[in-house]
Amino acid sequence: MYFCETMKKHKKTKIKSLCKLSKKEVEANLDEVALLVTNPKHICVKCARVAKKGSNLCEPKGISN
Ligand SMILES: [Zn+2]
């Protein structure tokens, strides 16, 4: 995971599933992605992505930390 501060055009995009994002989409929506993955409570057992809400993952499994 890395965070870089790039000056991109701010597109307003509603991310539904983190699993379906390509690397470019992640980069383009970094602020929103960062919000969704802060303090993750779920992990996707297929993609190994994490999210606060299980609804943002295709196969969410609750995690405890
Ligand atoms: Zn997934």
Phi and psi at residue 37, to the nearest 5°: -105, 5
Task: Tell me the pTM.
Answer: 0.72
Instruction: Tell me how far the alpha carbon of residue 8 lies from the centroid of ligand 1, in angstroms.
Output: 26
User: How far apart are the CA of 50 and the centre of ligand 1, in A?
Assistant: 9
CA distance 29 to 40: 18
Beta strands in the chain (DSSP E): 42-44, 50-51, 60-62
Rounded distance between C-alpha atoms, residue 62 and residue 19, angstroms: 16
Secondary structure class of 48 (helix, strand, coil):
coil
12-54 confidence digits (pLDDT tens) = 567 889 999 999 999 999 999 999 999 999 999 999 999 999 9
Distance 60 CA to ligand 1 centre (A): 7
